């Protein structure tokens, strides 16, 4: 994902700063991983990742190479705070436990 603070949101899903649960938007997700590709505070301002618990907030300040991996269900309500300046880059990785959604031949030539 590439999040820029100076671009307007085009769809509801672009409004990443709202508290959400990944399986509500992507029902096949079982686990979500975010591999951060640049540094909070150096390459961009804002854009921290926040877990929202009933009585506390846990904030992650992304660093290049950091992996944030969590279950995609209601126990991990979260948001990305608005990017205020710069560009935030992260690789989103989705894992599923639903065999009907599995990719069985990602590299078909390698299976031969």
pLDDT of 94 > 80? The answer is yes
Look at 12-16, 20-24, 51-55, 94-98 and tell me which has the smallest mean pLDDT: 12-16
- The mean pLDDT value for 60-74 works out to 97
Asked whether the beta carbons of 36 and 65 are under 8 A apart, the reply is: yes
pLDDT band at 80 (very low <50, low <70, confident <90, very high): very high
Q: What is the pLDDT of residue 64?
A: 98
Query: Among 83, 94, 24, which residue's Cα sits nearest to residue 49?
Result: 83
Would you name the residues annotated as active-site residues? 88
Angstrom distances, CA of residue 15 to CA of 84, 97, 111:
14, 27, 40
Give the pTM.
Answer: 0.83
Q: Percentage of the chain with pLDDT > 70?
A: 86
Distance CA 1, CA 88 (A): 8
Chain centroid to CA 18 = 13
* Greater model confidence, 9 or 23: 23
- Supply the mean pLDDT for the chain: 88
pLDDT of 29 > 60? The answer is yes
Buried b (16+ CB within 10 A) or exposed e, 35-69: bbbbbbeebbbbbbbbbeeeeeeeebebeeebeee
């Amino acid at each position: 994902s590439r999040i820029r603070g100076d671009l307007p949101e085009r769809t509801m899903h672009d409004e990443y700063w709202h508290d959400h649960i990944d399986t509500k938007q992507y029902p096949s997700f079982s686990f979500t991983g975010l591999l951060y590709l640049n540094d909070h505070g150096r390459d961009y301002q804002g854009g921290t990742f926040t877990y929202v618990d009933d009585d506390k907030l846990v904030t992650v300040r992304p660093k290049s190479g950091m992996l944030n991996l969590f279950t995609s269900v209601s126990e991990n309500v979260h948001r990305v705070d608005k990017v205020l300046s710069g560009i935030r880059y992260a690789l989103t990785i989705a894992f599923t436990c639903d065999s009907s959604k599995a990719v069985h031949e990602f590299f078909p030539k390698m299976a031969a």
